[in-house]
Chains A and B, each alone.
Chain A
Amino acid sequence: MNKPLSLGLKPRLNGLAFIVIALLLVGCTHTSNDKRVIGETARISLTEPGIEYLARIDTGARVTSVHALDMKVSGGESDKQDNVGKMVTFSTENEKGERREITTKIIDVAKVRNAQGVEYRYVVDLKLGWKDMAKGAEVNLRDRSAMSYKLLIGRNWLSKDFIVDVDVAEGIIK
């Protein structure tokens, strides 16, 4: 018995649900600032080298951060601040151990305060894709080897486009 387009409801409710959803979707396309709901974790990829991460969606973090190893700045100076505008090459690895190399321009150096004191991190512009949409954002580079989630999505990527629902998750790393 093949039932196409079943919503898993009683057959009579199925049709009704479709009509309601269709009406709501039509309503949504006419509003300028409808936002999509994203969970506490989401499968997000760096579209350029094409690597997917199970990312932690963190409204407590201002800026998005990605796992970066073996950072090399071409013609780099020892003071990070002097390297803004230069190209950086680094390796990134997802939670499955897949690796990609990325070369991109350093657009800033971020001062990050944490329990150990002050830390300076390179900031680059990367395009991050989720489902059918992609969006560029500033991302800081950090060695996240000790952390479960190799990509942390901060408020700068969520802003204007997403609402976070922690009842939803696309996976959990213990």
Chain B
Amino acid sequence: MSCKTWVKVLFTVSLLTSSAAHAESGAASVADCPDTAGFKIIGELEHVTLIATELRLQARIDTGAQTSSLGIDSQLAFERDGKKWLRFSIKHADSEMPIEFERPVIRTATVKRHGAEAMERPVVKMKVRLGSIELQREFTLADRSTYKFPVLIGRNVLLGKYLVDVNRKYTTLAKGEREQ
């Protein structure tokens, strides 16, 4: 095994040891997820914030998905400087006001579905915050009705940053709640 692997094993073991100790006290918060080596333990469901709008949405953490996706309410394709762009809106569960975004379309993803026709979906880059980590990653856009949760976090977000524990839920706090 390489040195890197061993360092990771060490960090993982220490992460698990400390998370077990915290679990006994019954608390689950950002403070319980050590930032050691940049790996944070998150649950099967989390809140994800779309940076710039501070829109905070429920997300299913899905190690079975390669690319993350976002459920949108409406979309309109347009051209800007000869490039394909998309204007789309996302409605927060608690508010009636849809929030609009404009993003260049990076590529189209072909989504294979068992027993159904393949679908073409636009892919855009979004800046998100999950826990205290901010990342810019590719998101596939699909009609909101496609998903049970507005955001699906796939491996392109998880890679190198998070470990998933399906016995946890909503381990991250909203901004401002962090200092207690």
Interfacial residues, chain A to chain B (CB-CB below 8 A): 7-9, 17, 20-21, 24-25, 27-28, 31-35, 37, 40, 56-61, 114-116, 146-147, 152, 155, 158-160, 162-167
B window 8-55: CB within 8 A of A: 8-10, 12-14, 16-17, 20-21, 23, 39, 41, 44
A9 closest partner in B (C-beta): B3
- Residues of B with C-beta under 8 A to A158: 166
Stretch of B59-67, B70-78, B79-87, B171-179 with 4 or more beta carbons under 8 angstroms from chain A: B59-67
* Chain B contact residues, majority secondary structure: mixed
* Segment of B100-108, B113-121, B122-130, B132-140 in the binding face: B113-121
B interface residues, how many (CB within 8 angstroms): 38
Alpha-carbon distance A20/B167, docked complex (angstroms) = 28
Point out the residues of chain A lying under 8 angstroms from B165, CB to CB.
35, 163-164
Q: A21-B9, A115-B116, A159-B166 are in contact. Are A40 and B17 (CB under 8 A)?
A: no
Sample 19 A-B pairs with CB under 8 A, ordered by A number. Answer: A8-B1, A21-B10, A27-B17, A28-B17, A31-B16, A31-B17, A31-B21, A33-B20, A35-B16, A35-B165, A37-B16, A59-B61, A60-B63, A114-B113, A146-B114, A152-B64, A165-B12, A165-B39, A166-B155
**Chain B interface (Cβ < 8 Å from any Cβ of A):** 1-3, 6, 8-10, 12-14, 16-17, 20-21, 23, 39, 41, 44, 60-65, 113-116, 152, 155, 158-160, 163-167
Q: Which of A20, A40, A56, A61 has the most CB of B within 10 A?
A: A40
Q: Is the CB of B6 within 8 A of A9?
A: yes
CA distance A115 to B8 in the complex (A): 39
Which 10 pairs across A and B sit closest by C-beta, in order of nearness? A58-B64, A60-B62, A31-B20, A164-B164, A155-B166, A24-B13, A166-B155, A59-B63, A60-B64, A166-B158
Residues of A within 8 A of B63 (CB): 40, 57-60, 164, 166
Whether B167 pairs with A116 at a CB distance below 8 angstroms is no
Select A34's contact among B10, B16, B62, beta carbons within 8 Å.
Answer: B16
CA distance A32 to B17 in the complex (A): 10
A8 near B2: Cβ-Cβ < 8 Å: yes
